[in-house]
Every structure is written in C-alpha cells, then in structure tokens.
Amino acid sequence: MNPIDDDSLQAYVDGALDAAEAARVEAALAQDEALARRVRQLQALNAQLRAAFDPVLDEPVPARLSALLQPPSAPEGTVLPFRARGTEASRHRHVLRRRWLPGAALAASLALLAAGLWWWQSGNVLMRTQGGQQFAAGALAHALDRELASAPDTQSPVAIGLSFRSKDGQICRSFTVRTPPARAGLACHTAAGWELPVFGAAEQSAGGELRQAASELPPAVQAAIDARLRGNIFDAQQERAARAAGWR
Amino acid sequence: MHSSDAVREGLIPLLPRLRRLARALAGQAADADDLVQVVLERALARAAQWRPDAPLDKWVFAIARNAWRDEMRTRGRAQHLFAPEESGAAVADGSDARHAQQLELAQALAMLPPDHREVVALVLVEGLSYDAAAALLEVPVGTVTSRLARARAALQAHLGNDA
C-alpha cells in the first residue's frame, strides 16, 4: 500500500478524493497521529478562510452594483421582481433595488436645468445648522418629507435615491440635488428634522478607470449608507408606509 | 429571452458569491467592489459569448479572475499592489480576537503571489473543485494542486500554525 502523501491529505481535506481513496486516508489517520495532526492543521486553515470571507455573503450588496443589473427599460416606480424568484431570491432579499436609472436621471437633470437655474438664483437655502449639526432646509427638507423614489417628481430639484432604516433605527434617505452645483448626501430623520450626516459636491471621483461607470452617488455618500444600512432598502410600499408614518 | 437578459438576471443571485471571491482576490472591500463592478460591466458587454448550457457562475468567475489580473497589471506599474497593513479592511469585523486573527490572515493572503492567491480564492474560498479551478485557470489539475499546497504552506508559515 502506498504511503499517504501530502497531496492526498490536501485532497482529502478539500473533499477531492473518491470514496475509496478517502477511506484509505481515514484508515491511515486512525493509525498515525502525525498525519492526523497535519489534517487538523489543513482543516483549521480552511475553516479560517471561510470564517474570514463567508460573512461577505450576508452583507448587503452595494446599490451601485445591483443597479448595474437592473433591466434597462424598467418602468419607474415598479419594484423589480427579485423577490418573485423563489428560494434563491429570498436568500438575496437585500439586493438593493435601484429605482431611477442613470440615463433617466441624466435626461431629467437636463430637462430641469432651466428650472433649476431659476430655482438656484431664487434662493439656495437647502441646509440649516442647529446645535452644530446640519439639517435639511427649504426645498431639500420638503423633498425629503414628500417625495417618493418610487414615484419620482421630475419637476423637483431633488431626486430621492434609497430609503432605509439605519442601525440607529432612524429612517435615512439618500438624495441628489439635480440643480447646479450638483450635490448629494444622506439625510436621516430625527426629532429635529432631517439631519445631514453627509452633504457635499457630487463630483465624479478622480480618474480611476474602475470608477468610470459608478453610480452618481459620491463615495462619501455610499460609505455613509453602507455604514448605516441594517436591513433592506425600502421597496415602494415600505417607502409609502414610512412617509405615512412621518418617517419615524 | 435575449442572452443579455438571461445573463443580467442570472448574475443577480450570484452577486454575493462574486463579492466574496473579489474580496479574496483583491483584499480590501472597496477594491473588491470596484472589481465586481468591472466584472459586471464586462459580463454584460460579453453576454452574447455566454452559452446557456455553461454554468454562469464559472463563466463570470473566470471574468473576475481575468479582470483582477488586468487590474493588477495596471496598478503594478504605478504602485505597490497590496499594502499588507491596509489589508485588514478586507475582512469582516468580529470580536477583537477574531478580528486580529482575520487581520493576520488578510496580511498573509496579501503576500501570496497572484498564482497562489487565485487558487486559494477559487478553491478554498469559493469552493470550486480542483478540476473546475483548473479549467477556469486553463492549467493542468496538477498545477492547481501544487500551487494550492505551496499557498497553504506559505499561509501556515505566516500564521504560525505549524505547531
């Protein structure tokens, strides 16, 4: 009988042996403590790798990635039928749903340019400061209170992106200001109004080819979402219900 | 159904696994998701090349591996590829002890040569068979197993698991 070499041990640990070969290795392991210890080391390393990377499977998929897989002609306001796809779909329930598409957003922002310029010149108060915190004001506060991403108001200077309940239990909504200068941010509803943990210029991130097709959300906003997101992005029904409940 | 629709819809349930593979290849979470974005764009652009009788996961994993290699070539000219001290961001938070262990693992992975790192990612993290990994990498099975053995030895040496 051939001795058990390291390749066989590795294949045994990786489940790559047929039943007869596996039985031969197991018989040898029962006899040879050094071999058994070697197998335990290999198994421990495999387990360590799984422990390090398997949690990624349960992370919410960033919106900019799932947005790439939306049908190009999805009608506005429909919730895409991810959930209707059986067990595989329910496992990935938190795949984010993107409700307005970059092309539509571009068209809308071009159409809005004139209106936006008027609005921009007529007063640009979108933010107030209270107790050292930034809060939404004016048209931004109004849009956050009233608008639904599932039923976008193309006349509004503000486009609502994703709504979700944060780890702190607040409802947060990402938004893009469609009038120049383009800005984007995240607003979370508090007793004092829509607090703005992130609000800044929505510039294309510099250079990198990997980012060329990134969603309009600046990395800072995306990071703020990723840091707060606990469960699902609201679908149209949840968004409506949240509005009806005063975003509490 | 048009092939691009089939690919697009088929990729949705694969996203978590694709992100896991990318994390194992690229290290840092942000780099990994940038890689996934490139992979999705390439997969959609090449949807016509996918044969419906071929497993979509292996097809897209091959795209991921090639995109990662391309990205490394591009970056390698400009800067060091992986700063091991930064690679701790690669792994999920856990308890402090687990976190420290995972940090060490991420550093050990970052030091592997690409040939070794990709077999670890494909076989040990994604769980492909040796045959499937060999087909994807277009190398003989014996090459996969020998790279895997050397990668394991390097990881264990780095992690001090030789006891």
Task: Determine the Cα–Cα distance for residues A86 and A102; give it in Å rounded to an integer.
Answer: 29
Chain A residue closest to B20 (CA)? A56
**Chain A interface mutation, best of B7, B9, B20, highest count of A Cβ atoms under 10 Å:** B20
Inform me whether the C-beta atom of residue B12 falls under 8 Å from chain A C-beta atoms: yes
Residue B54 DSSP label: S
Predicted local distance difference test score (pLDDT) of residue B4: 82
Q: Please indicate, yes or no, whether residues A46 and A114 belong to a single structural domain of this protein.
A: no
pLDDT at B84 over 80: no
- Number of domains making up chain A: 2
Assign domain B94-163 to a CATH class: mainly alpha
Contact B15 A214 (CB under 8 A): no
Q: Which amino acid is at A227?
A: A
Predicted local distance difference test score (pLDDT) of residue A75: 46
Predicted local distance difference test score (pLDDT) of residue A149: 85
Predicted local distance difference test score (pLDDT) of residue A102: 58
Q: Which residues of A touch B129 (CB under 8 A)?
A: 16
Give residue-wise pLDDT tens across range A94-152. Answer: 344 444 455 666 666 655 565 554 444 444 578 887 777 788 888 888 889 988 888 88
Report, in angstroms and rounded to the nearest whole number, the Rg of chain B calculated over CA atoms: 16
Instruction: Give me the residue from A7, A16, A52 closest to B105, CB to CB.
Output: A52
**Does residue A1 lie within any of the structural domains?**
no
Cα–Cα separations (whole angstroms), residue B2 to A82, B47, B62 = 18, 9, 22
Q: Please indicate, yes or no, whether residues A124 and A92 belong to a single structural domain of this protein.
A: yes
User: Which has the closest alpha carbon to A151: A245, A246, A243?
Assistant: A243
Q: Please indicate, yes or no, whether residues A183 and A118 belong to a single structural domain of this protein.
A: yes
Q: Please indicate, yes or no, whether residues A91 and A213 belong to a single structural domain of this protein.
A: yes
Cβ atoms within 10 A of the Cβ of A120, count? Answer: 15
Q: Please indicate, yes or no, whether residues A197 and A180 belong to a single structural domain of this protein.
A: yes
Predicted local distance difference test score (pLDDT) of residue B140: 97
Q: Please indicate, yes or no, whether residues A92 and A197 belong to a single structural domain of this protein.
A: yes
Strands (E), chain A: 127-130, 133-136, 158-166, 171-177, 183-190, 193-201, 229-233
Largest CA distance in chain A: 89
In A, residues 147-186, which contact B (CB 8 Å cutoff)?
none
Give residue-wise pLDDT tens across range A195-219. Answer: 988 888 775 444 433 332 334 577 7
Task: Determine the Cα–Cα distance for residues A181 and A203; give it in Å rounded to an integer.
Answer: 9
**Does residue A158 lie within any of the structural domains?**
yes
Question: Which of B99 and B159 is assigned the larger pLDDT?
Answer: B159
pLDDT at A6 over 90: no
Q: Which amino acid is at A113?
A: L
Question: Which of A183 and A188 is assigned the larger pLDDT?
Answer: A188
Inform me whether the C-beta atom of residue A7 falls under 8 Å from chain B C-beta atoms: yes
Q: Where are the domains of chain B?
A: 1-83, 94-163
Predicted local distance difference test score (pLDDT) of residue A78: 40
Assign domain B1-83 to a CATH class: mainly alpha
Q: Which domain holds residue A73?
A: 63-244
Domain boundary among A37, A55, A73: A55
Task: Determine the Cα–Cα distance for residues A83 and A238; give it in Å rounded to an integer.
Answer: 14
Give residue-wise pLDDT tens across range A55-106. Answer: 999 999 999 999 999 886 544 444 433 333 334 433 343 344 444 455 666 6
Task: Determine the Cα–Cα distance for residues A96 and A162; give it in Å rounded to an integer.
Answer: 9
Contact B37 A55 (CB under 8 A): no
Q: Please indicate, yes or no, whether residues A109 and A134 belong to a single structural domain of this protein.
A: yes
Q: What is the mean pLDDT of residues A46-57?
A: 93
Residue A164 DSSP label: E
In B, residues 113-152, which contact A (CB 8 Å cutoff)?
120, 123-125, 129-130, 145, 148-149, 152
Contact A210 B92 (CB under 8 A): no
Q: Please indicate, yes or no, whether residues A109 and A137 belong to a single structural domain of this protein.
A: yes
Q: Please indicate, yes or no, whether residues A43 and A69 belong to a single structural domain of this protein.
A: no
Predicted local distance difference test score (pLDDT) of residue A228: 87
Gap from A14 CA to chain B (nearest CA, Å):
8
Question: Which of A163 and A203 is assigned the larger pLDDT?
Answer: A163
Q: Counting beta carbons within 10 angstroms of the beta carbon of residue A101, is it exposed (0 to 12), middle (13 to 18) or buried (19 or more)?
A: middle
Q: What is the mean pLDDT of residues A210-231?
A: 68
Q: Please indicate, yes or no, whether residues A31 and A77 belong to a single structural domain of this protein.
A: no
CB-based contacts of A123, cutoff 8 Å, min separation 6: A138
Q: What is the mean pLDDT of residues B128-147?
A: 96
In which residue are the tokens 């497993």 written? B55
Domain B1-83 and domain B94-163, same fold? Reply is: no
Per DSSP, the three-state class of A197 is: strand
Per DSSP, the three-state class of A127 is: strand
Q: Please indicate, yes or no, whether residues A51 and A77 belong to a single structural domain of this protein.
A: no
Q: What is the mean pLDDT of residues B140-159?
A: 95
Give residue-wise pLDDT tens across range B4-28. Answer: 888 999 999 999 999 999 999 998 8
Cβ(A95)–Cβ(A122) below 8 Å: no
Cβ(A162)–Cβ(A174) below 8 Å: yes
Instruction: Give me the residue from A56, A209, A219 closest to B16, CB to CB.
Output: A56
Inform me whether the C-beta atom of residue A131 falls under 8 Å from chain B C-beta atoms: no
**How remote is the C-alpha of A3 from its chain's centroid?**
51
User: Which has the closest alpha carbon to B20: B155, B158, B138, B127?
Assistant: B127
Return mean pLDDT, chain A: 76
pLDDT at A43 over 70: yes
pLDDT at A36 over 90: yes
Task: Determine the Cα–Cα distance for residues A28 and A6; give it in Å rounded to an integer.
Answer: 13
Chain A residue closest to B158 (CA)? A45
User: pLDDT band for position B115 (50/70/90)?
Assistant: very high
3-state SS of chain A: helix, strand, coil percent to 5?
45, 20, 35
Gap from B135 CA to chain A (nearest CA, Å):
15
Q: Please indicate, yes or no, whether residues A131 and A67 belong to a single structural domain of this protein.
A: yes
Predicted local distance difference test score (pLDDT) of residue B3: 74
What is the count of residue pairs from A and B with beta carbons less than 8 Å apart?
A: 116
Task: Determine the Cα–Cα distance for residues B47 and B6; give it in Å rounded to an integer.
Answer: 8
Task: Determine the Cα–Cα distance for residues B22 and B65; give it in Å rounded to an integer.
Answer: 8
Predicted local distance difference test score (pLDDT) of residue B74: 80
Q: Which amino acid is at B24?
A: A
Q: How many CA atoms lie within 13 A of B85 on its CB side?
A: 0
